[in-house]
Amino acid sequence: MSTIGLSQAEQSNAENKEGNAYVTDESVAEFIAYLMETNVNMVKKVLTSQTMETQRGMRRGSVYKVPLNAVQAAAAQDALAKAIYNNLFEWITTAYNVIGVLDIYGFEIFDNNSFEQLCINYVNERLQQIFIELTLKKEQEEYAVEKFTWTPIKFFNNKIVWYLINEKRPHGIFAAMNDATATAHADSSAEDNSFSQRMGMLASNPHFEARGNKFLVKHYAGVVMYKAQGMTDKNKDALGKDLLELIQYSSNAFITGQLFTNWVDPNSKKRPPSQGDKIKVSANALVEKLMRSQPSYIRTIKPNQSKSPLEYDTVAILHQIKYLGLQENVCIRRAGFAYRNTFEQVVQRFYLLSPATFNNKNTGNEFLKESPAWWVMYLKSHNFRELLATDLKRLRVALRTQTPFWTQEFIGFGGYLALLKRLKELLEIEWR
């Protein structure tokens, strides 16, 4: 309801003769104050003015109030509404969402690309890097450590693109944006010019090109031209000290105790984190969570760009298969040892397939001695080739249906021997 009230406040804004914003409908400010359980005069003040502070070196300078025009006032209202909505959404997902499903939003390439697309594509670069790390790079590194006979499969590592956006030293795009904002002293035009100039420092990266007030990034999914104008404004944390103070003075325990818990010290000289900084922190937290888990991927391919039924764009589909690394991933899964289980799980699941353990699933050593070439063992895990694992599962199901093992008679043992012979033939083909 607070976000709805703030949207109404934007519609009730106007400018006086001096160009300063004021609230035309007092009831809207009263409604917002009622919902947030705070002072109505404070609401009107923070939505129409901003506290500015000058600094001289490390010392604090003068503090003064600056009136906002209608556009600036609308931006402040939007910032407050977004902050309330975002924190409420995060609180809901933390309290109730326990399903570990990550829906990765798609890579974005539009006619006009700005800060929003840069953030989305940055997160996609980071998640693609994790996909590469877990399914392509780490997999082959383990084969090398265990000295498997293996021909390395080459793949594009997008870490260089991620560094281009993320790094602090040397400057990446986010760092250049932050520096431009810090040195231009709240002048949007000067910030944009400073940012464009700093883009020249990234020219050594082969995945970057500066083109006047635009810049080009060669992402793993495609080439994107970004418009530099307006990026620095969007990168700022628009939720200034005045708006934070308004929230902090709310007597609503849910707002102050649940939605907003990380309060910024109003006397702190440290620059508040930018929107780019927040995206980086959020992406890193997500990556840490993914690295602690064993993710399974479901890759979706768009059949066409026009969202039309029964339309199959071969060129677009092949492009997606290439940039997602699916071809390399399939090659590694087919040629490598992608199926993994612990020693105990292997014996528990497949003991029926060996005469030495047919009646005793606990004799795991006998199971391995029967045909050592069947299994690749390292450390405490067993790795099977993908096709071999599939055949083992099929034979296990077939054997269970042909052998009534709950009786103590070997009525189906002839069928079992036939299946075992077929299994050995498959394994000989596999290992050749």
Domains 2-99+239-269 and 110-237+273-335 share a fold: no
Per-residue pLDDT of the chain (432 residues; tens, 9 = 90+): 455 555 555 545 566 667 788 777 788 888 888 888 888 888 888 888 887 776 665 566 677 777 888 888 888 888 888 888 888 888 887 777 566 666 666 788 899 999 999 999 999 999 888 888 888 888 888 778 777 777 888 888 899 999 999 998 878 999 999 888 877 666 778 888 888 888 888 888 999 999 888 999 999 888 999 999 989 888 886 676 777 778 877 888 887 777 777 665 656 666 778 889 989 998 998 888 888 877 778 888 888 888 888 899 999 889 888 888 888 888 887 777 766 666 667 667 666 666 666 555 455 555 555 544 444 443 334 455 555 566 666 666 665 655 544 433 443 445 555 555 655 565 454 444
| Tokens representing residue 147 in the block | 């000295």
Q: Are strands 59-67 and 339-342 parallel, antiparallel or unpaired?
A: unpaired
pLDDT digits (tens, 9 = 90+) for 358-409: 555 455 555 555 544 444 443 334 455 555 566 666 666 665 655 544 433 4
Kindly write down the DSSP assignment for every residue of 268-288, as one continuous string. Answer: --SPPPPHHHHHHHHHHHHHH
18 HSE (CA, 13 A, CB side): 6
Closest listed residue to residue 323, CA positions, set 218, 235, 394, 187: 218
**CATH number of the 110-237+273-335 domain:** 1.20.58.530
What residues contact residue 11 under an 8 Å CB cut-off, 6+ apart? none
Nearest-angstrom CA–CA distance, 23 and 77: 12
Nearest-angstrom CA–CA distance, 177 and 171: 9
Nearest-angstrom CA–CA distance, 428 and 432: 6
Domain boundaries, the chain: 2-99+239-269, 110-237+273-335, 337-431
**CATH number of the 2-99+239-269 domain:** 1.20.120.720
